[in-house]
Amino acid sequence: MQLFIEYLLFQLLRLIILALPLKWVQRLGVKLADFAFIVLTKRRSIAVENLQHAFPEKTQEELEQIARNAFRNLGISICEFLWFPNLTPNILKKIVEHKNINLMIDGHKSGKGMIMLSGHFGNWELIALASAYVSQIPFTIIVKTQKNTLVDKVINHHRTIFGNKVIAMEFAVREILSTLKNGGIVAMVADQSAPKESVFVPFFGRDVATYQGPAIFALRSGAPVQMGIIIRKPDFTYDVIIEEIDTSDISEYNEANVLELTKRHTAVLEKYIRLYPDHWMWTHRRWKNIKKNSAKNILRETS
């Protein structure tokens, strides 16, 4: 019953948002985020604590303002996401500008598929939708299944309105390898907290457990790796930047190269978070596992 009530409330918010103009929806996201910043004290504390470690040179006032703006980014992104069914090609062209989409298109021409990484940065859902539409190359998006299956179904519908495909993370290994083998693009976020058995790489000055999956799939398949970044401008339009992750000197599939490639794509994401700290989801316990540990050899698991 609780899950059904959650679904009804979710659908009510979704229907209200779908009835509003986009500018109103974005402003609603700001208002909801400001309310959440006040009432979600635990998440606010996590955000500020994470920021204190990441930017020790900043004052407490500066850190709290970044945290508030990060809440706003998330609120706007959620409301925009719920509005996705109203998107048309003309609206996409008006609100999203790709600075170097040809880099992605050229990378896809390798014939080995491609891995497009991102983080919980800006409106990360919009970058997959818009980039796939502009390039006319559908993405296979790796997603985490929501506990509420009714809500999960609606969310995945929003992700696929322009032809993208979604695969649940827990069933993704074969689908990823198959997609890359057939020359497709696999999209995934690469900044979640990972188990202690993962590799540890530097992220804002601390060695943190990080998923090896993107690096393993890239090195196994020979697929190029790119990082997609979406930056929200003050007028609520977006710039999309694609950055290639250099793998020219680490093409062989082994543990050392998996670690090195994981370091490289994590460093690229950190670079953009430092430039736009209010775009990232600081409420996440990203540094939950920071103690160095022997990484489990998972190279055999996908053999």
Bigger pLDDT: 109 or 300?
109
Q: What is the average per-residue pLDDT within 215-229?
A: 96
Q: What is the average per-residue pLDDT within 82-104?
A: 95
| 121, 149, 169, 191, 226 from 188: Cα distances, Å | 12, 20, 9, 9, 11
Residues 6+ apart with CB under 8 A from 180: 112, 113, 114, 115, 186, 217, 221, 223
Q: What is the average per-residue pLDDT within 217-230?
A: 96
Question: Which pLDDT band, with edges at 50, 70 and 90, does 300 fall under?
Answer: very low
pLDDT at residue 26, as a whole number: 98
Q: What is the average per-residue pLDDT within 260-273?
A: 98
pLDDT at 301 over 60: no
pLDDT at residue 171, as a whole number: 84
pLDDT at 98 over 90: yes
pLDDT at residue 299, as a whole number: 42
